[in-house]
Homo-oligomer: A and B are copies of this chain.
């Protein structure tokens, strides 16, 4: 990129992701990012005050991509059961794609999320918030018979950890994992309907 083009935060984050992919989280520096952009490292620091702030912002951007995608399911068509199933399927698919299509970047972000537990907790709260909206909808229409929707949503999220927590990424390419995912979803949906 020519140095004269406007240097936006988004452009810095794009390049930071590239640098992280190539150098790994331990070695990537702000100087690498600045060099790649053809600007001084001072220019990068005007957008992100510290290296830690830059790493947090790029990780949040990565996590937010999933959140934004899933928000479309919450606002989309279908009854609460269909939405819940689709939401869990989309989450699993998004995580598998992230792990399978670009293992280098996935490993990098796994290190970063391991260090940024507050950011991850906030991300999980957002995801559980989306699930809560679906559970509330099901309770309102009489489809689900649940107690506190937020508590139920958290239980659904916890019970599907094997299909979205990066600690289990090694399982996601195993034979039979799709069937296991289907069985767990079916069991949870029956529990939600029973109330």
Contact = CB atoms under 8 A, between A and B. Distances in A.
A2 interface: no
A92 to B, nearest CB: 12
Say which size band chain A's interface belongs to.
20 to 34
Contact of A158 (B155, B184, B186): B184
Contact of A180 (B155, B167, B184, B190): B155
A135 to B, nearest CB: 11
A26 interface: no
Contact of A194 (B155, B165, B193): B193
A151 B193 contact: no
Interface in A10-69: none
A155 B191 CA distance: 13
A111 interface: no
B183 A152 contact: yes
A192 interface: yes
A193 B165 CA distance: 28
Centre residue among A151, A159, A189, A194 by max chain B CB count within 10 A: A159
A117 to B, nearest CB: 9
Interface in A157-180: 158-162, 165, 167-168, 179-180
A156 interface: yes
Contact of A156 (B155, B187, B194): B187
Contacts of A159: 159-160, 162, 184, 187-188
A-B pairs with lowest CB-CB distance, top 4: A191-B191, A190-B191, A155-B183, A194-B194
